[in-house]
């Protein structure tokens, strides 16, 4: 079986030098039926190690060995089949994934309830609370908030996650379809999707009457099951196999789509999500998802 191990360093503190890459290749030596080929994807940041596994099931052993080698260095690791690593569909969460904030928590600051609402958000994302009920509870606390606050939050408090623009621009340049599917709100996803050049966005709707939030969310609520359903629909609509898709998110409501996708990525995620995903990005930014697909620095677009 042809496998590729990808090591990706945190871009703010590059530590993937030739010594570390060499030790990683050496660690794979007795798992490989032949030599281990090294390919630098980005100097100091990302490297691929190609090898033929001696037998099936060696990807887990390879992963364990590589994580021991990188140890405390800020380096992410993924071992996967070489064939089919470039994906034709990206489906992504928004809050704490494509953007660095949780939008509902930022809205809560305008009514002096950020700490209360953020605590509920954290528990929901960890899977400790049922998502739909937690969303209704948090939205209810925003009742009476002027609609204009949404634009203010977007302009002043929301920032794109480093690598988000590059991820979408590069995948689209190579023919991929990019969908934003969020348990947040369309008032935010429409803006973020347009900024990133994504093909579609789906989310929940905050009800507004007479220029103020009512505290209600449009039904049915888009949660865990709806995210997976949209991935299934896109696979059919685009004529893809699930293996040609990648899903990325950080919270428990992303688990179903992460588990269905060909490559499910937990991005700086909650423990339960990191444990279930095919890949984890604990140190890098969103360009790690490009390096996992074998893109080189020269192929990455920073639109």
Residues 96 and 191 in one domain: yes
Contact 224, 255 (CB under 8 A): yes
Residue with tokens 């509902």: 104
User: Quick count: other Cβ atoms within 10 Å of Cβ 61?
Assistant: 15
Dmax of the chain from CA atoms? 70
The per-residue DSSP string of 228-278 comes to HHHHHHHHHHTT--GGGEEEEESSGGGHHHHHHSSEEEEES--HHHHHHSS
Condensed to tens digits (0 to 9), the pLDDT of residues 115-132 reads 999 999 999 999 999 999
* Whether 95 is catalytic: yes
Residues 93 and 127 in one domain: yes
Range 172-194 average pLDDT: 98
Residues 296 and 153 in one domain: yes
Residues 30 and 120 in one domain: no
Residues 63 and 131 in one domain: no
Residues 62 and 159 in one domain: no
Residues 205 and 75 in one domain: no
From residue 104, give the alpha-carbon distance in Å to each of 96, 109, 119, 202, 221.
11, 9, 11, 16, 15
**Residue where a domain terminates, one of 83, 117, 143:** 83
Residue 189 has pLDDT above 80, yes or no: yes
Range 181-201 average pLDDT: 98
Range 193-205 average pLDDT: 98
Condensed to tens digits (0 to 9), the pLDDT of residues 38-60 reads 999 999 999 999 999 887 778 99
Residues 137 and 199 in one domain: yes
- Looking at the structure of the chain, the number of domains it has is 2
The pLDDT mean for the chain works out to 96
**Residue where a domain terminates, one of 83, 113, 128:** 83
Output the pLDDT for position 33. 86
CATH number at residue 7: 3.30.70.260
Residues 267 and 133 in one domain: yes
Output the pLDDT for position 244. 98
> Of 48, 76, 93, 250, which residue is the catalytic one?
93
Output the pLDDT for position 56. 77
State whether residue 32 is helix, strand or coil: strand
Range 15-33 average pLDDT: 93
Output the pLDDT for position 55. 78
CATH number at residue 148: 3.40.50.1000
Condensed to tens digits (0 to 9), the pLDDT of residues 236-278 reads 999 999 999 999 999 999 999 999 999 999 999 999 999 999 9
Residues 116 and 260 in one domain: yes
Residues 91 and 79 in one domain: no
Enclosing domain of residue 4: 1-83
Q: Residue 197: pLDDT band by 50, 70, 90 thresholds?
A: very high
Range 147-166 average pLDDT: 97
Residue 303 has pLDDT above 70, yes or no: no
> Of 48, 76, 95, 254, which residue is the catalytic one?
95
Length of the chain: 303
Residue 65 has pLDDT above 80, yes or no: yes
Percent of the chain exceeding pLDDT 70 equals 100
**Residue where a domain terminates, one of 68, 83, 98:** 83
Output the pLDDT for position 293. 98
* Whether 199 is catalytic: no
Residues 53 and 130 in one domain: no
């Amino acid at each position: 079986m042809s496998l590729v191990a990808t090591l990706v360093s945190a871009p703010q503190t590059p530590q993937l030098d030739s010594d570390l890459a060499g030790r990683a290749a050496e660690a794979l030596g007795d798992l490989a039926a032949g030599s281990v080929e090294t390919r630098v994807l980005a100097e100091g940041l990302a490297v691929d190690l190609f090898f033929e596994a001696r037998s099936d099931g060696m990807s887990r052993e390879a992963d364990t060995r590589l994580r021991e080698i990188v140890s405390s260095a800020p380096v992410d690791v993924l071992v996967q089949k070489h064939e089919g690593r470039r994906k034709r569909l990206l489906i992504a969460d928004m809050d704490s994934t494509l953007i660095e904030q949780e939008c509902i928590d930022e809205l809560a600051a305008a009514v002096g309830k950020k700490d209360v609402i953020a605590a509920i958000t954290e528990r929901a994302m960890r899977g400790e609370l049922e998502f739909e009920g937690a969303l209704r509870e948090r939205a209810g606390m925003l009742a009476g908030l002027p609609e204009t606050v949404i634009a203010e939050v977007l302009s002043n408090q929301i920032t794109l996650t480093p690598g988000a623009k590059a991820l979408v621009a590069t995948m689209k340049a190579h023919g991929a379809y990019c969908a934003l599917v969020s348990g947040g709100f369309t008032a935010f996803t429409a803006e973020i999707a347009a900024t990133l050049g994504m093909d579609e966005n789906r989310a929940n709707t905050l009800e507004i009457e007479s220029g103020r939030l009512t505290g209600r969310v449009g039904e049915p609520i888009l949660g865990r099951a709806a995210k997976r359903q949209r991935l299934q629909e896109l696979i059919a609509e685009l004529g893809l196999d699930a293996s040609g898709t990648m899903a990325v998110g950080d919270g428990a409501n992303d688990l179903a789509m992460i588990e269905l996708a060909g490559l499910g990525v937990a991005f700086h995620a909650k423990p339960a999500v990191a444990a279930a995903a095919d890949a984890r990005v604990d140190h890098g930014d969103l360009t790690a998802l490009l390096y996992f697909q074998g893109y080189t620095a020269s192929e990455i677009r920073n639109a």
